[in-house]
Homo-oligomer: A and B are copies of this chain.
């Protein structure tokens, strides 16, 4: 989902009454970022509070390449990483993930091995259908075991876009919340729905209800579900003791537009890029009685802050034996403070850009290669800024392109290198980059090796369902990451 997909963020069809209401009752973050313009690394960063380059969710197979966890990925979240639910357990929390995990699908990466107590959802994207020979269909799990596969047991109609997955995820969420409330147990729910990821889907009751087509139908169903979750919290009388945060894992995938792609509002490009359209996210915090209603914050925030903020809410300290990139946003939300901190924009193993205050410096620019572009892969459709949305990887390390995101949110007008403003801003940013690089200890890259043998051929529980498939011989290869 993109920054511009909610009514509260200026989507012209204004079809998200529940999320808009959530914002009216809570706090809107206008300058909130993901840690990576792609799903897996973003989610790894959310749960570890650390940049993908630290937690291992990146590749060194090529320079500045986006990588994630397809079925043939060998890696996943390392045991050495401490995930939010692992830490919350120490404070008595019951943790559930509903929806897409995406931090590795092999047994050692299973969410219940990394702090979650319950899971209903899938380890990978809902791509498919597959024939079960070249590639198995993605499994759905309930806790430790597979309960079926996409397209076989959990239908997604690629023609009509119909699938009732969001409704299943909603019911799971409501049931889990009810159960926790009944048992008076604190809980952490990671509601990781994926209806706006291509192939986009919505339930029958939402199909055709949006002005925006199927993508809008999916957004409306998500919006409706969030309204029901918040209402459920209120009806159970636990809204004032439940902190809720809504955000997305990367900008809208413009490559899937217009049928399956969303909007990044006035921002440049989309998913896969380190322009604002790829990294700036819709974000709303909600905690009635604590966060003042109708608040708006320009705090530079990150999905990694949800790690630190959640620990703070649970009365826990973040781990002190490692670098944590997230910060605690409670002073921002409860006291209206603004914390001065930079945003680092990574693509794979490269620091592409840095934001400090309203200034953003690009050290590298790249949309995608000419070769891909000539095949119709376009991360910036209809947009082209000379020297900025480049189709070759352009290095600007010695003279970064600098933008003022207040005057120029669309990253169209680089500041003059000769200006005093440029000098002043770059002095500050250079210091931040130096400090960042000097103390950076990159993690072991997890997204380098692919192997057909590790696909979801025979997930735990497959015997009971008669859904075990035979894996081919192991043949590890360097994964190919073209952009």
Contact = CB atoms under 8 A, between A and B. Distances in A.
Interface string A245-282: 00000000000011100010110100000000000000
Given A407-B216, A412-B257, A412-B381, A265 B12 contact: yes
Contact of A10 (B11, B358, B407): B11
A382 B412 contact: yes
A270 to B, nearest CB: 12
A383 B215 CA distance: 23
A258 B413 CA distance: 7
A216 B211 CA distance: 31
Given A10-B9, A10-B265, A213 B382 contact: no
A408 interface: yes
A263 B412 CA distance: 12
Contacts of A215: 407
* Most B Cβ at <10 Å: residue of A259, A263, A296, A407: A407
A248 B437 CA distance: 48
A407 B212 contact: yes
A382 B407 contact: no
A14 B296 contact: yes
Given A406-B211, A407-B213, A257 B413 contact: yes
A419 to B, nearest CB: 13
A317 interface: no
A265 B268 contact: no
Interface in A395-410: 404-410
B266 A4 contact: yes
Contacts of A382: 268, 383-385, 410, 412
A30 B14 contact: yes
A212 B265 contact: no
Nearest to A210: B406
Interface in A147-183: none
B413 A266 contact: no
A108 interface: no
Contacts of A381: 412
A13 interface: yes
Contact of A266 (B12, B358, B406): B12
A96 to B, nearest CB: 33
A420 to B, nearest CB: 15
Given A10-B11, A412-B382, A258 B407 contact: yes
Interface string A19-33: 000000000101100
A385 B381 CA distance: 8
Interface in A214-267: 215-216, 257-259, 263, 265-266
16 contacts: A4-B10, A10-B265, A12-B31, A13-B30, A14-B30, A211-B298, A213-B406, A216-B406, A258-B408, A258-B412, A259-B407, A265-B266, A381-B412, A382-B384, A382-B412, A384-B384
Interface of A: 4, 7, 9-14, 28, 30-31, 210-213, 215-216, 257-259, 263, 265-266, 268, 296, 298, 358, 381-385, 404-410, 412-413
